[in-house]
Amino acid sequence: MNWVWTNFDMIWGLTLSQIWLSVIPIVVGFLLSIPLGYAASRSKAARSILLSAGGILYTIPSLALFVSIPVVIGTSLLDPTNVVIALTIYSVAIMVRSSADAFASVPEPVQDSATAVGFSGWQRFFAVELPLAGPVLLAGIRVVSVSTVSLVSVGSVIGVSSLGFLFTDGFQRNFFTEVWTGIIGTVIIAAVFDLLLVLIGRLAMPWNRRVSDRKLRRVASRSAVPVS
Amino acid sequence: MIEFRNVTKQFPDGTVAVDGFSLVIPSRQFTVFVGSSGCGKTTILRMINRMVEPTSGQVLIDDHDVATGDAVRLRRSIGYVMQQSGLLPHRRVIDNVATVPYLTGVSKKKGRQEAFGLLRTVGLDESLAYRYPAQLSGGQQQRVGVARALAVDPNILLMDEPFGAVDPLVRAELQTELLRLQRDLDKTVVFVTHDIDEAFLLGQHVVIFQKGGIIAQQGSPAEILANPASDFVASFIGADRGKRRLRVSDIAADNGELLLVDGNGHPAGVIETDDPRLGAGTGPKSRSVSNKTDQAGDA
Ligand SMILES: Nc1ncnc2c1ncn2[C@@H]1O[C@H](COP(=O)(O)OP(=O)(O)OP(=O)(O)O)[C@@H](O)[C@H]1O
Ligand SMILES: [Mg+2]
């Protein structure tokens, strides 16, 4: 415990870098998945192409992706951008399925009646389909959030610092206080993110409070793919 | 007046739902489309507000081809109510009613103010205004659907089996109120149902459909009942099964009312009358209405 206090500045610095390394992929992945998921919910062909592509991308081992991105886009090997891009790819890959399911979950009578009373295409998307896709989108982004936070740690193997550094360093020195600090820190970040997402969902979707958590968890577990 | 001129609709998958369909729907009347499932009623109804575009032919409202204007603006000027109310689950009742005014740029304050008036018009308590649709009963949701359709004071109201999913008691109540509304508001109503009793109850002008959007017969309920144009119509309205032929049953109802049964012997109702020729007294035994009248004449 003493070790934690004496090294608090370093741990806090690693925590902050872990946070921003995960926030960017979560947010960008979410935004990208909206148009892709919408397209997938509109056409069978688009759905099968996008979902297969997502599935394939997700099976690339993270380490392989981290080291191949600099080769493709010409960044230096230690550049954190590599990790951010790799995690964004994973995040889109998982999220596109949730997003497709989310838009498909909007009841057809509601869509029809929105058209019937005179919503234009864009109005219908932003005022009807997007908000009603919200609960399933939220379930998906919660899965993405946890998975991204834990994958960021892997980046420390290639020298991009995050709490994951505490695992690698701790193991090398056989110093388990450090390892535990890394693990607990990562879990706390993931839990805080999840809590924030749930709160945002509550505020943005007051009409949805009565929907049971069970239903959402079912959708979320369907979207989750084991991490390689 | 809404006019269909030789309208055909073939869906992308090749289904021809309607072929060479022509019809004139009179203004300010209650017109009912009735027919069994899949005969094209919804398709035809949706061509009026261009949710379905005809493959060929024209749809005119007051001699104006609907295809020439902007579809979104057209839809905002026509009320539409459907079976599963189609309310927006994420908006409160009051804002659902004001949906179309909001779309046309009316402020939230003014929209809600007018929506309260509409809730009263359709017989809903103001205390329900801030609920979400899921917190209402099916019948209440349909009322909100009607209020929403009335919000822009449309000349035309399209209703696609609006009462199909509510229980018979509530349905009867909604039917009565819809009739009152139509008389008070003087709108052109086009109402779709597959229930012939509902069609005859509501419709001033009834159009009976056959498979493929073919009109089997149209006219007032009285005209159709008196003169079914074909065996299909006779069977559809139940005339062939004696469903429409009522006679007085052998069993006396209480307080001298007469129990009526249809051709199959199923009870259909009672006659309430002060007419001594029909009224009880002696207690009818095994007599039809005409027998009873004869007897009264003999006496
Ligand atoms: N989008 C569509 N694509 C292909 N075929 C369709 C489509 N919509 C309707 N049809 C077909 O057109 C025919 C008429 O359908 P429609 O929905 O108009 O019938 P309906 O009289 O309203 O039936 P119901 O009483 O069941 O509502 C049916 O054979 C139906 O399968
Ligand atoms: Mg229909």
Question: Ligand 1 centroid to A124 CA: how many Å?
Answer: 24
Per-residue confidence (pLDDT) for residue B277, from 0 to 100: 66
Residue in this structure with the two tokens 């409070």, named with its chain if needed: A209
Which among B82, B89, B103 is the nearest to A118, CB-wise? B103
| Mean pLDDT value across residues A126-135 | 96
Q: What confidence tier does A135 reach under pLDDT thresholds 50, 70, 90?
A: very high
Q: What is the model's pLDDT at position A225?
A: 45
| Distance (Å) from CA A51 to ligand 1 centroid | 31
Tokens of B81: 């109510």
The Cα diameter of chain A in Å comes to: 68
- For A13-46, how does the pLDDT look when each residue is reduced to its tens digit (9 = 90+)? 999 999 999 999 999 999 999 999 999 999 999 9
Q: Does residue B218 sit in helix, strand or coil?
A: strand
How much is the average pLDDT of A5-17?
Answer: 92
- Report which protein residue has its CA nearest ligand 1's atom 31: B38
Q: Angle at CA A122, nearest 5°, toward A119 and A127?
A: 65
Joined together, the tokens standing for residue A159 give 């020298």
Cβ <8 Å between A117 and B91: no
Residues from chain B that touch A102, judged by Cβ atoms under 8 A, are none
Alpha carbon of B228 to ligand 2 centroid (Å): 24
- Centroid of ligand 1 to alpha carbon of B212 (angstroms): 10
pLDDT per position as a tens digit, B22-74: 999 999 999 999 999 999 999 999 999 999 999 999 999 999 999 999 999 99
User: Pocket of ligand 1, candidates B8, B15, B208: which has the most ligand atoms within 8 Å of its Cβ, to mutate?
Assistant: B15
Name the A residues in 87-126 with CB < 8 Å from any B CB. 107, 109-110, 112-120, 123
Burial class (CB in 10 A: 0-12, 13-18, 19+), B288: middle
Query: Which among A110, A123, A131 has the least Cβ separation from residue B103?
Result: A123
- List the one residue out of B229, B199, B194 whose CA is nearest residue B215: B229
Domain ranges of chain B: 2-239, 247-298
Q: Which of B39, B48, B52, B192 to mutate to test the pocket of ligand 1 (most atoms within 8 A of CB)?
A: B39
Of A63, A37, A64, A54, the residue nearest A89 (C-alpha): A54
* Ligand 2 is an ion; residues with CB less than 5 A from it: B 42
Asked if B84's CB is within 8 angstroms of A109's CB, the reply is yes
CB B259 within 8 A of CB B252: yes
Q: Which residues contact B250 (CB under 8 A, 6 or more apart)?
A: B284, B285, B286, B287
| Residues B102/A127, Cβ–Cβ less than 8 Å | no
Which residues of chain B have a CB within 8 Å of the CB of A138?
Answer: none
Q: What is the pLDDT of residues B149-162, one digit of tens each?
A: 999 899 999 999 99
Average pLDDT of the residues in A46-75: 89
Contact by Cβ (8 Å): B19, B182:
no
Of B72, B80, B91, nearest to A113 by CB-CB distance is: B80
Average pLDDT estimate for A192-209: 94
The pLDDT value recorded for residue A142 is 97
| Average pLDDT for B209-235 | 94
Beta-ladder partners of B189: B30, B157
pLDDT value at A219 more than 70: no
Task: Give the pLDDT confidence score for residue B271 in this predicted structure.
Answer: 80
Question: Taking residues B93-99, what's their average pLDDT?
Answer: 97
pLDDT, tens only, A140-172: 999 999 999 999 988 888 888 899 999 888 989
Q: Whose CA is nearest to atom 14 of ligand 1?
A: B40
Decide: B221 and B233 in contact? Cβ < 8 Å: no
Please say if the pLDDT value at position A109 is more than 50.
yes
Chain B residues with at least one Cβ partner in A under 8 Å: 49, 51, 72-73, 75-76, 80, 82-91, 99-100, 103, 132, 134, 148-149
Cα-Cα end-to-end distance for chain A? 33
Residue B174 confidence (pLDDT) above 60: yes
Cα separation of A154 and A164, whole Å? Answer: 6
Would the CB atoms of A207 and B75 count as touching at under 8 Å? no
Q: Do A114 and B88 touch (CB under 8 A)?
A: yes
Q: Tell the residue nearest (CA) to atom 17 of ligand 1.
A: B42
Portion of chain B with pLDDT greater than 90, in percent: 73
Chain A hits for B99, CB-CB cut-off 8 Å, are: 117
Q: What is the CATH number of domain B2-239?
A: 3.40.50.300
pTM: predicted TM-score of the whole model, two decimal places: 0.83
Confidence of residue B282 (pLDDT cuts 50, 70, 90): very low
B90–A131 CB contact, under 8 Å:
yes
